[in-house]
Amino acid sequence: MIAHRLSPGGTHTVLEAVGLRPPEWRTYHVLMRMPTSTADELAERLGLGIDEVAAALTVLQRRGAVTRTPDDPHRFRAVPPDLAFGPELRRRQRDLAVVEEAVDRLSAEYRNQLALRGTGDLIEVVFGEAIGPRIAELERKAQQEVCAIVKTPTFALEASENVAELEGLRAGVTFRTIYPREVLTMPGDPFRLSESVEMGERARVIDETPLKMIMVDRSVAVVPVLPADSTEPSALLVYPSGLLDALVALFEAMWGNATPLLAAPGETVREANDNAPSPQDLHLLSLLLAGLTDQAIAAQLGLSMRTVQRRVHDLIELAGVRTRLQLIWRAAHRNWL
């Protein structure tokens, strides 16, 4: 998020996000590659104790991710991932919609109250050219964490102007940013995602972002707005209140549903070894996991379609699998993402 432009992982992470602990998603991952298996066989393959595997199978069975075979109740088989985890994903999407609706209601309520009572202690309005310096000032005061949601088009801070994030990262402040998927298709990496992630930013990608926001230490959030009767941009600074609580909940709900983004460091090119891909191929793999097409990946990385397809094929061979879906699973199993 080196560009705070206010207007304009892996499979194991996904499974943990739906509530599975490491022994459980590891058990499911191994079982899905086998027709059926007993708890003893799984324990041997995983190198875990039989009690731990039995407990994991109990949780997975309760979650509908595994079933017992009808002819032998001691043997288990994996339920397809879309059936096992699809309902949980849809539930989380409904929860996110509820939070977004709550934010809309709270925002409308606060706007309606502006004319009736003073809001100086809860909301501050900043206009035009004062927005960028104010954001930089808040970031420099961050003690623990800066969270951001990016939405295009953008205004306020250009990438080259935002040094506050670099200073904060060096000081140990955590930066978490959610980007809309469209930024990955923009030529030339205008948000400098690779550089941001290389410096330590934790970036995730989601299909669409409903608003723009920067939040510092969960004590103040900056939400840009463009009043209907004005062409001058403005931003609301929201201080501790019910509205700020709702913005925190919205960010965390979106973060839980977003895809982690990896980036290759600088211009240093390293070849993949026998154990893991090169940083450049890990970047490609994260874009693949984010749902980009080969054409979009090629544009993001400045490569030809043929080169992207060749590198994906090389990753499939390195992982020892046959399909792209299997590549994602194997990458997660090997902790590549």
Helices (H), 63-153: 81-113, 131-140
Residue with tokens 């739906």: 18
What is the per-residue pLDDT for 57?
A: 92
Measured between alpha carbons, how far is residue 295 from residues 52, 56, 116, 179, 286 in Å? 44, 40, 53, 19, 15
Q: What is the pTM of this model?
A: 0.52
Query: How would you classify the pairing of strands 202-206 and 37-38?
Result: unpaired
Tell me the C-alpha distance between 156 and 216, whole Å.
17
What is the per-residue pLDDT for 5?
A: 40
pLDDT band with cut points at 50, 70 and 90 for residue 232: confident
What is the per-residue pLDDT for 266?
A: 41
pLDDT band with cut points at 50, 70 and 90 for residue 268: very low
Measured between alpha carbons, how far is residue 141 from residues 79, 128, 137, 186, 216 in Å? 49, 22, 7, 31, 8
Average of per-residue pLDDT across 303-330: 79
Higher pLDDT, 168 or 176: 176
pLDDT band with cut points at 50, 70 and 90 for residue 227: low
Checking if the pLDDT of 194 tops 60, the result is yes
310's CB contacts (< 8 A; 6+ apart) are none
Average of per-residue pLDDT across 45-53: 90
Q: Counting Cβ atoms within 10 Å, is residue 2 exposed (0-12), middle (13-18) or buried (19+)?
A: buried
Tell me the C-alpha distance between 184 and 169, whole Å.
23
What is the per-residue pLDDT for 181?
A: 82
Helix, strand or coil, per DSSP, at residue 206: strand
Listing DSSP states for 218-247 in one string gives TTEEEEEE--TT-SS-EEEEEPSSHHHHHH
Give the Cα-Cα-Cα angle 216, 219, 223 (nearest 5 degrees).
Answer: 60
What is the per-residue pLDDT for 337?
A: 62
What is the per-residue pLDDT for 231?
A: 66
Checking if the pLDDT of 152 tops 60, the result is yes
Checking if the pLDDT of 64 tops 50, the result is yes
Q: What percent of the chain has pLDDT over 90?
A: 15
Characterise 97 by phi-psi region: left (phi > 0), alpha (psi -120 to 50), beta (else).
alpha
Checking if the pLDDT of 2 tops 70, the result is no
Checking if the pLDDT of 115 tops 80, the result is no
Q: Of 77-86, 87-96, 225-234, give the lowest mean pLDDT range.
A: 225-234
What is the per-residue pLDDT for 75?
A: 93
Checking if the pLDDT of 264 tops 50, the result is no
Q: Determine contact, residues 261/197, Cβ cutoff 8 Å.
A: yes
Share the mean pLDDT of the chain.
77
Model pLDDT for residues 13-23, shown as the tens digit of each residue: 555 556 678 88
What is the per-residue pLDDT for 148?
A: 93
